[in-house]
Amino acid sequence: MTTLRLALCQVNPIVGDLVGNATIIREWARRAADAGAQLVAFPELTLTGYPVEDLVFRRSFMEASKAALERLAADLAADGLGDLPVVVGYLDADGPPQVNGDAEPGHGARNAAALLHDGKTVATYFKHHLPNYGVFDEDRYFVPGETLSVVRVGGVDVTLTICEDLWQVGGPFAAARQANVGLVININGSPYELKKDDVRLPLVRRRAAEAGATIAYVNMVGGQDELVYEGDSMIVTAEGELLARAPQFVEHLLVHDVHLPAAADGPPADIELADGMRVLHHCIGSLPAATTDKSAVGELLEPAADEAEVWQALVLGLRDYVDKNRFRSVVLGLSGGIDSSVVAALAVDALGADRVVGVSLPSQHSSEHSREDAAELAKRTGLDYRVEPIQPIVDTFLANLSLSGLSVENLQARVRGVILMALSNQEGHLVLTTGNKSELAVGYSTLYGDSVGGFNPVKDVWKTLIWQLARWRNGEAVRRGETPPIPESSISKPPSAELSPGQLDSDTLPEYDLLDPILIGYIDGDLGRDGLIEAGHDPALVDQVLRMVDTAEYKRRQSAPGTKISMKAFGRDRRLPITNRWREDGRAAGAAGRLGGE
């Protein structure tokens, strides 16, 4: 057996920031070297950020990525790290993009990994399995690789794989077994989903058994538009033993001494496998000397509980959206209700109270207890709190327009949106909208009113989970000896938009404990009407809910981006036509039935 000191760098790159991302790699490679590492790995497409989406089609960006990799290799050597093998994800190409008229079959853009050593690229691997589901469109962008690069590092045969390769049987991991490798490096840009960490470890164990080798799994961390990455990097032996596991939602250097089988004597031979994959062998020269200090043992951390995990994901997604897009602060309507209270608490946790503005926008229908709850939350969290009554503005509209009923309700919401956007323009804040996933699903919102904003931290959070998160966050504050941020009355009172006298959500919608299970089955689970009824839901209620969901697609298409935490978030995960007369009961859609107007 041979011992290698591995370093997995769980870092937070920014899409398109080639210079900044290269600096991250150099800084963390230095930290790894200072910890005595002999092999270092960074996540998928760290050099370019991930996902790069249609930047792939720009030859200028492609060439910049390749040049940045070459420059990075030289810079690492100049930093005195030339003898340290560094695995880096980057964007490569061996031909024009497949959308180009002069594209060549089997050539094009590549999701690639490179092993850098001694100032140059020693080996390159192109991702074999390209995901084409959910948020992933890699068949649109990349051409799959058919070659497995095996590099002899310190007497151990090491191979490189990328993300989706781990999720599929066969391909690179089967080839790794046939090549008798001792270690598989798997670099990842694997977005967070609730309970995905429960799936990840068993999956890595299955692939380790398939490859007959230890797997070093490194995942990125941070927010990128709707996506958030939680890290959760780990090392698992061929026998399934978990050696080390990194924390979630923070950058982290995981260093661990791994005992690996020594490579066979003699020069290895390149081989062609029956499934069409080729195995090519490479060898690097000297490594950093094995440390004589005590052995390195990485942390072995357990994933967080569900509510804690979701809260951390939402905080990180919001923070990175604001900071990476260079907004200095955020503003939101603070009604005293549960949704805006949770968003305000998230914003304060993400950015600090000095970067959060909460605005109470009372009308004549706003209850005294809601105003008090909004003020109380502001006092508890320390955010910048303001009161801007909307009734005089609403009355001016009503004096000049003949409106009644729902039109007046929507007018109030739109006046609030205008005020928030005016504050955004005047003071430079990003407007946060606060509609939860249940409301988005059934269209319970006003276009250009309560839906106004540039980012929605709770867009992918069901209403029932909103309450769970509020209770968890308050309980966590008590555990820490702090003041709970959310007033108890905001959690316990019946939800209401307060746009008309005595209004409650339940006047229009089913109770959320009945509504959410139907929505989860229909949206996240893709169950049809029959499947939902078989699951025990009332047929009349199913018909009502599905009708509301189907007729609200046009609203969702205009909604702000928000952090994805579920298996199927609105937006890139779920793509349905707006103009669509298919209905689950088999009847064509009529013209009526839109909830809440527009």
pLDDT at 98: 65
For position 269, what pLDDT does the model report?
74
Residue with tokens 């007033």: 487
Inter-residue contact 538 to 517 (CB < 8 Å): no
Contact 485, 473 (CB under 8 A): yes
Catalytic residue among 44, 164, 409, 584: 44
In 406-462, alpha helices (H): 406-427, 437-442
Task: Report pLDDT for 86.
Answer: 98
Contacts of 314 (CB under 8 A, 6+ apart): 346, 457, 458, 461, 563, 565
Q: What confidence score (pLDDT) does residue 588 get?
A: 53
The confidence score (pLDDT) of residue 594 equals: 43
Residue 586 has pLDDT above 60, yes or no: no
**Residue 595 confidence (pLDDT):** 46
Q: What confidence tens digit (pLDDT) does each residue in 24-51 have? A: 999 999 999 999 999 999 999 999 999 9
Q: Could you tell me where the beta strands, DSSP code E, fall in 287-399?
A: 330-333, 356-360, 384-387
The chain-wide mean pLDDT, for the chain, equals: 91
Active site (annotated) includes residue 44:
yes
Share of the chain above pLDDT 90, in %: 73
Catalytic residue status for 70: no
- Average of per-residue pLDDT across 336-362: 96
Radius of gyration of the chain (CA): 27
Q: What percent of the chain has pLDDT over 70?
A: 96
Structure tokens at 386: 């303001």
Report the distance separating Cα 90 and Cα 45, nearest Å.
4
pLDDT of residue 209: 96
Give the Cβ contact number of residue 531 at 10 Å.
15
**Active-site residue among 163, 210, 437, 564?**
163
**What confidence score (pLDDT) does residue 529 get?**
92
Instruction: State yes or no: pLDDT of 597 exceeds 70.
Output: no
Handedness of CA 204, 207, 212, 213 (dihedral sign): negative
Residue closest to 275 by CA, chosen among 176, 181, 342: 176
- With cut-offs at 50, 70 and 90, classify the pLDDT of residue 272: confident
Structure tokens at 372: 């008090």
- The active-site residue, picked from 127, 459, 555, 564, is 127
Tell me the CB-side half-sphere exposure of residue 276, using CA atoms within 13 A.
5
- The DSSP string of 277-299 is -EEEEEE----PPPP-SSPP---
Give me the phi and psi of 225, to 5 degrees please: 55, -120
pLDDT of residue 478: 97
pLDDT band of 593, cuts 50, 70, 90: very low
Stronger pLDDT, 504 or 588, i.e. the higher one: 504
**Where residue 464 falls among pLDDT bands split at 50, 70, 90?**
very high
Residue 317, pLDDT > 70, answer: yes
Helix (H) or strand (E) holding 76: helix 59-76
Instruction: Give residue 592's pLDDT.
Output: 41
Instruction: Look at 133-137, 149-153, 390-394, 484-488 and tell me which has the smallest mean pLDDT.
Output: 133-137
376-400 per-position pLDDT tens digit: 999 999 999 999 999 999 999 999 9
Instruction: Report the C-alpha gap between 41 and 88 in whole angstroms.
Output: 6
d(CA 96, CA 555): 38
- pLDDT confidence of 596, banded at 50, 70, 90? very low
CA distance 21 to 72: 10
C-beta of residue 366 within 8 angstroms of C-beta of residue 342: no
